[in-house]
Amino acid sequence: MKTGDDYLASIKSLDLEAHIMGEKTGHLSEHGLVRPSQQAVALTYDGAHDRDTAELFCVESNLCRETVNRFTHLHQSTDDLVNKVKMQRYCGIKTACCFQRCVGLDAANAIFSTTFECDGKHGTPYHQRFRDYWTWVQQEDLVVDGAMTDPKGDRGKRPKDQADPDLYLRVKERRSGGVVINGAKLHQTGMLNSHEILVMPTMAMRPGEEDWAICCAVPTNSEGIHYIYGRQASDTRKLEEFGLDMGNPVFGGQEVMTVFDNVFVPEERIFMDGEIDFSGILVERFASYHRQSYGGCKVGVGDALIGATALIASMNGVGGASHIRDKIVEMIHLNETIYSCGIACSATGEQTPAGNYQVNLLLANVCKLNVTRFPYELARLATDVAGGLLGTMPSAADLSDQVAGPYIRKYLAASPEGDVVDRIKVLRLIENLVAGAGSVGYLIESMHGAGPPMAQRIMIGRQADLEGKITQVKGLLDIE
């Protein structure tokens, strides 16, 4: 298993380039906007080598029987599902941001079971192909981006009816030995920090939409792929000389628009090609795994926000005030409610016909629906407790000014035990999470990542067995 440093070296050696703020940019590892996001991924590797966490991160692979990093594991029990959530919570509090490596893990588990069932029905060769591919991913300990979300163009139209057929990624050409794909995937978490990409269809396809039902793997440095880096609120603070204003001085997330301009995919990397009846199943399974994931990662980031809120309250001298303590208890209650859902959908998961374990679909969707609400309430409470200084603090540059610096230190002093710079550090971290670069992962992604709230409502409606409840009531009341 790689260490964080091994990982950073391996990503650097891919020599990826991206369009960042108007410039085609190489040497991404040295770029101020990219480096924090790579450091967050590196933590997912170091966890496997840290004495305190190795047991949680290391697990025996069912494919190669070697010890692998859990971020590449095909879940073999409900304990594995629970441990995944625990591991994500750990990474969330350590980084206070999105550490990006879960998407490929969730894609792999969904593709593993879907290909097995697809082969059973259609006689296709996908499952063994995927097993071979994923064995290699595990042994090489790679980061894999799970690429699902298509641009979708006019939402009122099907893929084949769009003015531009590439608005949903599709097979454009079939050649001997493989296919050529064209299109784009948006909002790609950690794409430039990944070695491989698992492309999946974005929704259930219908007859006539076979070309859009494509699932395959390509290396991130494939010819024809173009990356356009996503901006985050206050991101250029990462490029400033004074680290204090960054809020999160070490880690950060990454989202990338990824364009596939006639990219060739060899046959051995194709795991679905036209089997429209399995496209929706794949989407549903992937989404459910990722909705479970949020029951770990967002909770970890919530832990960081709660810690920062409690710390600023005590630095402000109001840590003991009963209404402040009550607000912090409310934050804990909301955060642990999300975690409870993450654990519950894992503990009640079930084995798939392929042998790996699937989360409880109903509870995973309940988990994610809570995530579309609770982090916003946590952010509101943190803003409340932190005070208005959260939005009005002078810059770190002024702290070192001969005239302004002493005034800032004099007038931003609060509780005598608290250092002014430490107070600013804590406030900047809260600002980062509720309104800055970190809010992309903690708030906007909580709303839309793994699907927006309506997608969870639809699944909850479908999974809840409403008819069964009606039947029970009829029985209770002796109604025919």
Site for Fe ion in 431-470 (CB under 5 A): 449
Cβ at position 298, least distance to ligand SF4 in Å: 6
Q: Is 445 marked active-site? A: yes
Q: How many other C-beta atoms lie within 10 A of the C-beta of residue 57?
A: 24
Q: Which is nearer to Fe ion, 252 or 449 (CB)?
A: 449
User: From the centroid of its chain, how far is CA 349?
Assistant: 20
| Pick 98 or 306: Cβ nearer ligand SF4 | 98
Q: Which of 31, 90, 97, 102 is catalytic?
A: 102
* Secondary element (H or E) of residue 147: strand 144-147
Find the catalytic residue in 294, 339, 357, 442.
Answer: 294
> Is 86:296 a contact under the CB 8 Å cutoff?
yes
Pick what 100 binds: ligand SF4, Fe ion, none; C-beta below 5 to 8 Å, kind-dependent. ligand SF4
Q: How far is the CB of 402 from ligand SF4 (least distance, A)?
A: 43
Output the residue with the shortest Cβ distance to Fe ion.
Answer: 449
Active site annotation includes 118 = no
Q: Which H/E stretch holds residue 68?
A: strand 67-69
Nearer to ligand SF4, 97 or 270 (CB): 97
Q: Which is nearer to ligand SF4, 93 or 347 (CB)?
A: 93
- Rounded to 10°, the helix 276-315/361-371 angle is 40
Answer left, alpha or beta for residue 59, where phi above 0 means left and psi between -120 and 50 means alpha.
beta
255 in active site: yes
What residue 90 binds from ligand SF4, Fe ion, none (CB within 5 to 8 A, per partner kind)? none
Q: How many Å apart are CA 453 and CA 134, to the nearest integer?
A: 31
Q: Tell me the one-letter amino acid at 205.
A: M
411 part of the active site: no
Closer of 181 and 440 to ligand SF4 (Cβ)? 440
Q: Could you give the CA distance from residue 280 to residue 272 in angstroms, rounded to a whole number?
A: 12
**In angstroms, what is the minimal distance from the CB of 211 to ligand SF4?**
29
Catalog residues that contact ligand SF4 under the rule CB under 6 A: 98-100, 102-103, 189, 293-294, 297, 441, 445, 449
The candidate with the shortest Cα–Cα distance to 326, out of 373, 381, 379, 370, is: 381
98 is a catalytic site residue: yes
Q: Is 135 annotated in the active site?
A: no
Selecting among 98, 118, 345, 367, the annotated active-site residue is 98
CB nearer Fe ion, residue 92 or residue 449: 449
In angstroms, what is the minimal distance from the CB of 297 to ligand SF4? Answer: 3
Distance in Å, CB of 353 to ligand SF4, minimum: 26
Q: Is position 124 annotated as part of the catalytic site? A: no
Residue closer to ligand SF4, measured from CB, 20 or 105: 105
* Residue 456 binding result from Fe ion, ligand SF4, none, given CB thresholds of 5 to 8 Å by partner type: none
Of 255, 275, 284, 431, the active-site residue reads 255
Distance from C-alpha of 260 to C-alpha of 223, rounded to nearest angstrom: 9
**Across-strand partners of 279?**
none
Q: Please report whether residue 375 would count as binding Fe ion according to CB under 5 A.
A: no
Active site residue 189: yes
Q: How far apart are CA 253 and CA 442, in angstroms?
A: 10
**Residue positions counted in the chain:** 480
Q: Quick one: 269 or 368, whose CB is closer to Fe ion?
A: 368
* Cβ–Cβ < 8 Å for 265, 225: no
62 to 217, 283, 300, 375: CA distances (angstroms): 21, 24, 28, 36
Q: Which does 99 bind (CB under 5 to 8 A by kind): ligand SF4, Fe ion, none?
A: ligand SF4
H or E element that contains 173: strand 170-175
| Active-site residue, selected from the candidate residues 25, 290, 309, 431 | 290
- Give min distance, CB of 115 to ligand SF4, in A: 22
Helix axes 361-371, 374-386, angle to 10 degrees: 30
- Rounded distance, CA 108 to CA 114, Å? 10
Cα–Cα nearest to 284, from 219, 365, 169, 209: 365
How near is the Cβ of 232 to ligand SF4 at its closest, in Å? 14
Catalytic residue, candidates 78, 189, 220, 309: 189
Q: Which residues share a beta bridge with 183?
A: 260
Residue 287 contact partner, candidates Fe ion, ligand SF4, none, CB within 5 to 8 A by sort of partner: none
CB of 438 to ligand SF4, least distance (A): 12
Token duo for residue 307: 């810690």
Q: Residue 216 is inside which H or E element, if any?
A: strand 214-219
* Catalytic annotation, residues: 98, 102, 189, 255, 290, 294, 297, 445
Q: Which residues bind Fe ion (CB under 5 A)?
A: 449
